[in-house]
Amino acid sequence: MLTVLLASCGGGSSTQPAKLPSLHAGRVGPETIFTPAGELVLNPVGTLDELQRLGVDTVHVYLHWADIAPDPTSSTKPVFDATDPAAYPAAGWAAYDTIVRDTKARGMGLILDLVPPPPHWASGPGAPDPQTQPQWRPSAPEYGQFVQAVATRYSGHYVPPGETAPLPRVDFWSIWNEPNLGVELAPQAIQNTKIEVSGKLYRGLVSAAWNALQATGHGHDQIMIGELGPAGATFADAPGLFGAMAPLRFLRALYCVDSSYQPLRGRAAQQRGCPSTAAGSKAFAAQNPGLFHATAFADHPYSFGLPPDQGAPNEPDYTDLIEVPKLEHALDTLQDVYGSDTRFPIYSTEYGYQTSPPGPPTGTVSPATAAYYLNWAEYLTWLDPRLRSYDQFLMTDGPGGYFTTGLKFPDGKPKPTYAAFRMPLYLPVRATAKGHSLVVWGDVRPAHDAQLASHHAQHVQIQFQPASGGAFKTVATVPITDRYGYFEIPEKFPASGNVRLAWSYPHGPQVFSRTVVITLR
């Protein structure tokens, strides 16, 4: 192992071959999810065109409650039937109708995530600033009625007023967004941050949404819960009302257990809206079917500027990418507490690296480093069969350097991450002795759609350029047989130099991966 580390870092003089990772025959997936956020709503057709050309399998769409609701800034609920989609302003539905129609027409998957903010009239009393804090104690019954309206509209049977054909059916749903963050759901904790209350709030929202989906014919759909932010504040006065709660702490409160995963009892249970007796705990699973019968659990496993194989030190309750196995274990343990054998598949539904430029230096990496880290992170995702998706959050950075995880700069110019996302390349070991192989792992994300369009099998070229210079030349041609475009092969290279992938769109341009430097000693 020391030889591998030295060789990979360019140090040492050993000529022994590096120990290669085992190959993973038969591994399939994960699917690619893209979360484009607001740009999709502003330009549905153009954004979906680009996503399809990049080979995205599934689009993760945030449908904001306040964007649909009538009079969302009023503190008084307007008189309307909140379960009837026709009672909502038609303009609010327009972009989402286009997204639903176009993703289905293109054969792309769609996750409709029903997210905050709520309209002000659905917020609870007691917010420090009611005008700016609609996420304060949102009404679960009102949320359930909103979910019922959305689910009815996208049931596959609903014909909007003035139209003649029903809208397509949506069959993959997610409930809320980052409920462990105070900007999405508040308060997080009360009494000097000692008592977690956001778990109780989210429990109510899940129950209301679950019942609404069952009532509208979506009971056999994919229904996902969680959507957790991967980190939280753990110092003395945090998370407080509006901070971020560490995700595993949030999960324990959600499922009514203490830090040892024992059911809460007495006053501690009552303060968190949990059953306080053994008899109550016995009925907990039946009373909260969404927590036990959802089809998947979502995490946003951002690595926050760290390499993807590193987690935040001394933070046992985080769920960043390298800690996802810890999330899996916690979810399994929570199911076991209540006698459930559910084992949630885990979906990554937000991921990316903020870059500088255009963002500030703190917590960011260079665009080139981001490209490397994204490919590395996808390889780690691919290694975990329980992680069912790899996600990219944002296509284009917004103005002002806020959350710069996009594949393009604010002016639309592609970052290095654009090519890295379209065709990932990662070599787990990049140095070995001459005459020995290196494992080449990669993905041609658009290959499946290209094969369907062209009716021809797809292949990717592994190309090599000597360190001394000259042109890239193809050293291997690899057939793409995986549904999601992945491949993994051992390959011998003639010398030290540069490795890249090359692939051509049918009747279109040739495109390349990022370049990886290898060393043969």
Q: What is the pLDDT of residue 268?
A: 97
- Pick from 91, 61, 86: nearest CA to 158: 86
At 138, the pLDDT band (50, 70, 90 cuts) reads very high
DSSP string for residues in 80-148: S-TT-GGGS-HHHHHHHHHHHHHHHHTT-EEEEEEEPPPPGGGSPTT-SSTTT-TTBS--HHHHHHHHH
- Alpha carbons 357 and 68: distance in angstroms, whole number: 35
379 three-class SS: helix
Q: What is the pTM of this model?
A: 0.95
Q: What is the pLDDT of residue 375?
A: 98
CB 99 within 8 A of CB 61: yes
Contacts of residue 56, Cβ cutoff 8 Å, sequence gap at least 6: 32, 33, 34, 108, 445
| Average pLDDT of the residues in 7-30 | 66
- Alpha carbons 237 and 182: distance in angstroms, whole number: 14
Q: What is the pLDDT of residue 25?
A: 83
- Alpha carbons 451 and 506: distance in angstroms, whole number: 8
Residue 61 bridge partners (DSSP): 112
- Beta strands 486-492 and 222-228: pairing type? unpaired
pLDDT at residue 144 is higher than 80:
yes
Per-residue pLDDT reduced to its tens digit, 59-106: 999 999 999 999 999 999 999 999 999 999 999 999 999 999 999 999
DSSP letter for 354, please. Answer: -
If one counts every other C-beta atom within 10 angstroms of the C-beta of residue 14, the result is 15
pLDDT at residue 8 is higher than 70:
no
Q: What is the pLDDT of residue 237?
A: 82
pLDDT at residue 10 is higher than 50:
no
If one counts every other C-beta atom within 10 angstroms of the C-beta of residue 144, the result is 22
Per-residue pLDDT reduced to its tens digit, 296-309: 999 999 999 999 99
Going along the chain from its start, the domains and CATH numbers come out as: 2-23+425-520 (2.60.40.10), 57-350 (no CATH)
DSSP letter for 400, please. Answer: G
- Alpha carbons 290 and 335: distance in angstroms, whole number: 12
DSSP letter for 397, please. Answer: P
Q: What is the pLDDT of residue 235?
A: 83
What proportion of the chain, given as a percentage, has pLDDT over 70? 97
pLDDT at residue 4 is higher than 80:
no
At 13, the pLDDT band (50, 70, 90 cuts) reads very low
Neighbouring C-alpha atoms within 13 Å toward the C-beta of 269: 17
pLDDT at residue 210 is higher than 90:
yes
At 142, the pLDDT band (50, 70, 90 cuts) reads very high
Contacts of residue 496, Cβ cutoff 8 Å, sequence gap at least 6: 466, 467, 517, 518, 519, 520
If one counts every other C-beta atom within 10 angstroms of the C-beta of residue 491, the result is 16
| Average pLDDT of the residues in 319-328 | 98
Q: What is the pLDDT of residue 16?
A: 65
CB 65 within 8 A of CB 145: no
Q: What is the pLDDT of residue 433?
A: 96
How far is the first Cα of the chain from the last one, in angstroms, to the nearest whole number?
16
pLDDT at residue 423 is higher than 50:
yes
CA angle 464, 478, 452 (to 5 degrees): 130
pLDDT at residue 445 is higher than 60:
yes
